[in-house]
Amino acid sequence: MTQTLKTKVLIIGAGTGGYVAGIRCGQLGLDTVLVDGGDGLGGTCLNVGCIPSKAIIHAAGKFETVAKAAGGGTLGITAAAPAIDLKQTVAWKDGIVRKLNNGVAALLKKAKVKVIKGWANFEDAKTCVVKTDDGDVKITAEHVILATGSEPVELPFLPFGGDVISSTEALSLPEVPKKLVVVGGGYIGLELGIAFRKLGAQVAIVEMADRLLPLYDKALTDPVAKWLVSHGVELHLGARAGGFGNGKLNVTTKDGAPLQLDADKVLVTVGRKPRTQGWGLENMGVAMSGPFVKIDQRCATSMRNVWAVGDLTGEPMLAHKGSAQGEVVAEIIAGHDRVFDPVTIAAVCFTEPEIVSAGVGPQDVEGRDDVIQALFPFAAIGRALAIEAGEDGGFVRVIASKADHRILGLQAVGQHVSELSNSFAQMLEMGAVLEDVAGVIHVHPTLGEAFHEASLRALGHAIHI
């Protein structure tokens, strides 16, 4: 027997876009049903993406620190050679995920959102049937918010399975592979490749482009490339991966020569694609923009009262974008006058060292004489030197309008610079000028002083360089 439900708002997907939309709908007094058919409450980010990957990256950093102390000592500290039981590390990571899952569940319950675990299939734009363990539930809604997220891209000649893994499997390996080949030199592949190198794996990276992280300018990525080379990571740039078998990955090098790389595991990280299949999107009559659902500034689709948020709607495919869109849609449904029109959506690569970018980059203003660019190295910042973060070529860069000094873009590369990302986004969102940053007394000693000094340098009067 099929149970039937009617609701004001139906949300499909419990990731950072969907669950945030649900909580905000509940806060606004909207009768809301959230269907969770994917990775669990929190979606990819919380369960098999942002959070668990940063946990593994953190553990890898701790392991590397002890290994350095064992290899001749560091900072006057010596230690015995470390060992790692990756099963225990993964269990610790899973505990963090469970705690956050429970937190999201509690927040949804507090907001009086009804959560249904199961996979939805739409019959039309406002009606879906959810298959649950307790039978089918037919739901009709006045408003539908699509937040189905994204999934790893699979290469036809390297299908997932066995020793060919996606980032999901990489985060739950029972042991550190002796030899790991990463196919794809984007941020996901590099974050995980660097973590496993720190944990002791031999790592090779195969990337089609001529350099790593091709979406960022070379000055930002050079410190990362330097770390990889100095830590013995094999880089095969301008190369194409082929099939895998008998512990060997076939590769065609930049020069067209065949190469075989030994691999215990092959981690394929060539991008993500919106999750558009298997839930009846084709029955909803919404317009598409390439592989993504087309939306306007209100996150509205072409079908009245059908909304879409997060990775389903296009680049940048970032968790914080989906959350912001989810809030906007909830408030629009509640009658508020809102649009999704951010000045910037900052992005972070949790590589070694970390990279932050917000607003325009050098490649966007190349050849223009109406902008100022200035950078300040962390090597001249006391706090950076005191935490061994000043010797890897890191810096903060400011790009501003020459005419009125309005800040147009901010970038940084260095250890722990991810913590500067919110300051960067805030300044851009508020329309700050160089004098605004220069006029803020920055705390000493902190890494944020480099932002202050870069702004001073753009104005022609940096203090410490």
The Cα 152–Cα 166 span in angstroms is 7
Residues forming the active site:
444
What's the number of CA atoms in the CB half-sphere (13 Å) around residue 456?
Answer: 18
Q: Does 316 sit behind a cis peptide bond, omega within 30 degrees of 0 on the bond before it? A: yes
Strand partners, 74: 77
Q: Is 302:321 a contact under the CB 8 Å cutoff?
A: no
Q: Which of 113, 148, 119, 114 is nearest to 131 (CA)?
A: 119
The Cα 439–Cα 462 span in angstroms is 13
Six-digit token string for 281: 């999107």
Among left, alpha and beta (phi > 0; psi -120 to 50; other), residue 285 is left
Phi then psi dihedrals of residue 233, to 5 deg: -80, 125
Six-digit token string for 443: 């705390």
Q: Is 292:274 a contact under the CB 8 Å cutoff?
A: yes
Q: Which of 454, 308, 446 is nearest to 377 (CA)?
A: 454
Q: Does 377 sit behind a cis peptide bond, omega within 30 degrees of 0 on the bond before it? A: no
Six-digit token string for 229: 């080379």
The Cα 12–Cα 155 span in angstroms is 27
Q: Parallel, antiparallel, or unpaired for β 179-183 and 265-268?
A: parallel
3-state helix, strand, coil in the chain (%, to 5): 35, 30, 40
